[in-house]
Structure 1
């Protein structure tokens, strides 16, 4: 059955909205900043722009009522279960969730993490309430426990952020790709905008006259797949063509000493600037410093690529991960073998030369926002919600 478009189905949406309520269950949204948390917040922003008849309740296992929450309103109620005893917090949430399910009989429950899927299945299945599991990346890329896999198989739907993440989850856990729907990450084009390099930051980092490469990533020893070390290894070759090249690394973690030593060993320590943690509200000004965004990684999606493109900065990613979606299989950026310094160096040189269409910042921004802007996310969310209603009513 064809999924009606948003415009064609405002009347259908109105009818559905009055009868439909949704329950969302997440580990956390506000306690920490991260890619998953930002993604969930974008979904909430899109949800709140849908027809006002939608009413939802949100259950948060690890967040507390003191969290800064600008989403709550009369149609969007939050329940917090952070507890000094994680087990007790989980029990309290399960009891409150069961009560809510019995009282409201919601149209759909959205399970926000695979670690909650067994609980959601246990509560929803006996009541005949359909549930959808949201997945993101590596948490479903390896074989799951039998209970978790059965919870996925029993779900009315599975949402994920990229084709790559879908395919890896299916291969690892024997899932049917047809049961998985795409709801990709989104970029706020009003938040990330192009602009001139801020003189104060240019002076702070010593970037006067420099060609600046940039990466935003956690510098954890368990996350070397981000490719910061590969980019450092590529710098000597890049410097042969662009002697003024500098590399700005934003992020913090226990791997920074190793990376700093690597730069020293390769004789490029004067080219690498470790900026440490940069708050989200200051990140845009740092993107504007960059002549190219470099992250030869293995991502489930890679929201940072969209952030850079929205700021009119050309991008480089790995060639075997979820970045295929934001980079549109190489149409919007360079994709290279993620552990190959020679390939990274060659691509960086092309990017800094600026002769490729993928260096056209205005075009990049237009493409990124058209495909992955908040309006596109809202349209996609509306389609999926209407689809779930139609599917449920046809059963």
Structure 2
């Protein structure tokens, strides 16, 4: 099967959506499908066999121009895969021109509320829609003009490198936290993503320090919202206990999870929340709120807790009290092999099937 993938980013891109796209596209390539990826962002250094990624084209007009040039060279695609709802109208037009079905992938907050009529009309023509969580599927179906049986759940998966391990003394020294208990949040600190809830933890820190005097709150990630969080920490009187790690290199991220005693991200806007899975795979308890797609990973594993906001403080304290023991890190159902199995099943059972065009 020859597949054209339209994505915001994949190989070479940061963040949860890029990671999801890499896992999904790799699963297609490993099953023998020929995949051409057209990203808007990110440059890939190495790619799986059977997969080609074109040069990234930032900007809508540049991206469309690059896509048109590709279609002039080759239109022999059997399926168009659209990795973001923001590109749905373009994907639908491309599929119509090529004469093949198309598959839409949806993630989080962008798919929770009605989009414009043009995009809704495009979505109606999708042969299959997959959502990263049951929550996103439910919110999408509340407004989308798509039959429920055409919308399936295809969750995030976690890399095999995320496993329990010893605490890195180098990192503990870097953050001056050798004799401390560590709360960790991993995620962008963007004003547009203030829903992730860093501020909620900073506001709880004075009370948490009454119970755990050696507590440190480590924030891994960066963005234009960091100055506001730094001011909040100062105003709250906990600037010495809140440590900003900045953007963490990929080869150090696993060790950042391992030095933590509890992972917490009280977000209200996660489509799924891959960081919860990564933390739990490293054996530490993970805490989030019960108001978004994070209930899927947190509710599926024994060391996850999805709670109402009024129980957040006590849940963190309970987890810190029991922080001496680590879970096994098993993430059954959320591994790349699970995704590959699900993708094969969907390709076999969906309306477009695996058969190539004559």
* TM-score strictly above 0.5: yes
Aligned residue for 1:68?
Answer: 44
Q: Does 1:94 align with 2:68?
A: yes
Q: Does 1:239 align with 2:239?
A: no
Larger of the two Rg values belongs to structure: 1
Q: Matches of 1:219 and 1:68 in 2, distance apart?
A: 25
Q: Matches of 2:39 and 2:191 in 1, distance apart?
A: 29
Offset at residue 278 of structure 1 (A): 0.7
Question: Structure 2 vs 1, CA of residues 61 and 203 (structure 1 numbering), >3 Å: closer, same or farther?
Answer: closer
- Matches for 1:194-209 after TM superposition, within 5 Å: 194-209=164-179
Note if contact 1:324-1:330 (Cα within 8 Å) is conserved in structure 2: no
Could you say what secondary structure the match of 1:326 adopts? helix
2:38 to 43, 53, 59: 59
Q: Matches of 1:187 and 1:332 in 2, distance apart?
A: 15
Note if contact 2:84-2:104 (Cα within 8 Å) is conserved in structure 1: yes
Residues 314-340 of structure 1: per-residue CA shift (max 9 Å, x gap): 000111111111112685422123xx4
Residues 349-391 of structure 1: per-residue CA shift (max 9 Å, x gap): 1101118xxx96334x11x2x1201111111111112223675
Could you say what secondary structure the match of 1:219 adopts? coil
2:273 to 285, 291, 302: 302
Q: Matches of 1:140 and 1:178 in 2, distance apart?
A: 17
Offset at residue 93 of structure 1 (A): 0.8
Aligned residue for 2:343?
Answer: 381
Note if contact 1:309-1:361 (Cα within 8 Å) is conserved in structure 2: no
Could you say what secondary structure the match of 1:293 adopts? strand
Task: Report which of the two has the higher share of helix.
Answer: 1
Could you say what secondary structure the match of 2:143 adopts? helix
Note if contact 1:252-1:277 (Cα within 8 Å) is conserved in structure 2: yes
Question: Structure 2 vs 1, CA of residues 197 and 141 (structure 1 numbering), >3 Å: closer, same or farther?
Answer: same
Offset at residue 32 of structure 1 (A): 3.4
2:299 to 318, 321, 328: 328
Report the aligned-residue RMSD. 2.3
Could you say what secondary structure the match of 1:361 adopts? coil
Q: Matches of 2:273 and 2:115 in 1, distance apart?
A: 23
Unpaired runs of at least 5, structure 1: 1-19
Question: Structure 2 vs 1, CA of residues 392 and 46 (structure 1 numbering), >3 Å: closer, same or farther?
Answer: closer
Could you say what secondary structure the match of 2:275 adopts? helix
Could you say what secondary structure the match of 1:23 adopts? strand
In terms of mean alpha carbon deviation, does 31-40 or 325-334 score higher?
325-334
Q: Matches of 2:56 and 2:208 in 1, distance apart?
A: 51
1:144 to 109, 115, 131: 115
In terms of mean alpha carbon deviation, does 148-157 or 231-240 score higher?
231-240
Residues 58-80 of structure 1: per-residue CA shift (max 9 Å, x gap): 223445xxx2342254x323333
- Matches for 1:204-353 after TM superposition, within 5 Å: 204-298=174-268, 299-328=270-299, 331-337=302-308, 340=309, 342-353=310-321
Q: Matches of 1:248 and 1:32 in 2, distance apart?
A: 24
Offset at residue 99 of structure 1 (A): 4.8
Could you say what secondary structure the match of 1:208 adopts? coil
Aligned residue for 1:15?
Answer: none
Note if contact 1:221-1:254 (Cα within 8 Å) is conserved in structure 2: yes
Offset at residue 114 of structure 1 (A): 2.2
Offset at residue 164 of structure 1 (A): 1.0
Residues 177-216 of structure 1: per-residue CA shift (max 9 Å, x gap): 3211111110112x11221111121122111221110001
Note if contact 2:123-2:145 (Cα within 8 Å) is conserved in structure 1: no
